Amino acid sequence: MNSKQDQFLAIILFFVTAATCLTGSPQAYISALQIAVYEIIFISTCIFLYIRQPFDGSVSIDKASTFFISTICVILLLSAYFSFSQASNHTGITVLRVTTLFIHLIYCFVLARYLRKSNIGGWWFCYSIIFSATSMGIVYLFYALILQVDPQFLINNPLFAAHYRHVGFVSVVAAILAAIQIVRFNNVKILFKLYICLLIINLSFVIWLGSRTAILLSIIALILVGFASSFKKLLNRKIIITYCLSICISLVLATLTSVYPWNGPLRTYNAITSYKPDNSKTPITVKQSDFSSGRFQIWGDAIDLGLSNPWVGAGPESYHFSNKEEQSEFFHPHNSLIHIFAEVGIFGLITCVALWAKVILNFKSRLLHKHSTLEQFQLNLSALMIVLSLSLLSLTSGSLYFAQPLFIFFSAIAFLAIVIESKTPETIVHTSK
C-alpha cells in the first residue's frame, strides 16, 4: 500500500467513524441500518482500491478463533431461520439484526486487512472518536445552557442516540483515548494542552449525563492507563497531576452546568437535600429498584426467557417482543451476558465469552512484548481499553446492543487481530518478536 492509498483510506475511516458516532437515532434499528451502510461504504472503498492496486494485507485467524466465530455465525443463522420458518412476529427485526451483525464481522475483517499495512489509520480512527464525542457533548450543553430546552426535551428527543445517557458510551471511550494521547504527547506542549481540554470536556460530559457505571469506569480507566503506561516508563508526576486535576475540573464543570433533575450532580444533590431522617421505629426498607433502576426485574425476565430454550436461546430480538407491553422502556436486558443467554442460549454465551477471553489474553501478551515500540504500545493500549470499557459498560447498560458502540467495539477488535497475527515491525500496529 502506498502513502496516498493509506491517506485516502484513513480519511474515509475518519469520516465513517464520525458519521457513525453522530448518526444515532431514537430508534435503535434505524441506527443499525445507517451504520451498516457506512460500513459497506468503507468495505467497498477498500475493495475498489485493492482491485486497482493489490497489496499484501492478508490476515490469518488461528483455528480456535475460527471455530468460535464459525459457531457464532451458525447460531445466528439458525436463529434467523427458525424465526423465519415459524413466521414469528419479530422475524423482520431478527433478520435485520443478524444481517447487521454479519456486516460488522465483514467490516472488522476488511479493516484489519487495511490496518495491517497502514501507518496512520489506527490513530485517525482514535482522533475521529475523540472529536466526534467532544462535538456531541458541546451540542448537548448548547441545548441545555443556551437554548434552555425543557428537561423532558432531551429525554423524549435524545440527540445522537436512542437514549440521552447512551451518548455517554462514546464519550467514555473518547475520554480514555484522550488520556492516552496526553501520555503520547507529553513533550509536545500544544497537543498536550489540547488533549487535556478534550479529556476534561468528555469526562465532564460523562458526569453531566449521570450514568453511575460510566463515571466510575472512566475514573478507573484513567488509573489503568497510568498503570499500563508505567510499564514503558511513560508515567511521571506531571501525568499523574494532570489526570487528578482533570477529574476535579470535570466534576466542577459538570456540577456548574447541571440544570436538569436527571443530570448526575444535580440528581445527587437533590437526593441529599431532600433526605429526611425517619425518627420513628418503623424498620427502613430499601427497594432493589431504588438503586438498580429496575434492572434486577428485567434481568430476571431475560433469564426466564433464556430458560425457556436454554441451549440455543429464543432468538435475536426475542426479549424486546416477549413482553412488549410491559417493556416499552427496557427493550433490551441492560446486560450483555444475560442478553446473549436469552437470545442465543448457553452455547452462544460460552462461545462469545471464550472468544472474548482469547482476544484479551492474546492481546495482553502482545501489549507487554518487550520489543514493542511506544507507538505500538499506545495504539494497542487504546484498542484494549476500548474493548474493556465497552464490555464493562455492557454489564449494566447493555452498551453493545447499540450500533455505535458495537461499531467501535468491532473496530478495536480489528486492531487486536492485527496485533495477534502480526510478527513484523512494518507498521505502528505491529508487534515484532
Answer yes or no: is pLDDT of 317 > 70: yes
The answer to whether residue 393 sits within a structural domain is yes
Residue 123: predicted pLDDT:
93
H-type alpha helices, 257-373: 264-273, 288-292, 295-307, 318-322, 336-367
Q: What is the pLDDT of residue 194?
A: 96
For residue 160, the cross-strand partners are 24
Cell 443467554 sits at which residue?
Answer: 341
Q: Is residue 304 part of a domain?
A: no
Domain assignment present for residue 431? The answer is no
Examine residue 427 and state whether it is found in any structural domain, yes or no. no
| pLDDT of residue 83 exceeding 80 | no
User: In the prediction, which pLDDT does 35 show?
Assistant: 93
Each residue of 205-255: pLDDT tens digit? 999 998 888 999 999 999 999 998 888 888 899 999 999 999 999 999 999
Sign of the alpha-carbon torsion through 65, 67, 70, 75: negative
The reply to whether 107 falls in a domain is yes
**Mean pLDDT score, 13-34:** 87
Return d(Cα 201, Cα 174) in angstroms, integer.
10
Query: What is the model's pLDDT at position 287?
Result: 45
Does the residue 296 lie in any domain?
no
> Which residues form the domain of 130?
3-266+309-421
Q: Which residues contact 161 (CB under 8 A, 6 or more apart)?
A: 24, 26, 31, 167, 169, 402, 404
Closest among 149, 145, 209 to 175, alpha carbons compared = 209
- Total count of domains within the chain: 1
Domain assignment present for 280: no
Coil, helix or strand for 75? helix
N-terminal to C-terminal alpha carbon distance within the chain: 23
pTM of the predicted protein model: 0.88
Decide if pLDDT at 104 tops 60: yes
Whether 273 shows a pLDDT value over 80: the answer reads no
Q: What is the pLDDT of residue 135?
A: 95
Residue 55 lies in a domain: yes
What's the whole-number average pLDDT of the chain?
82
Residue written as cell 451504520? 35
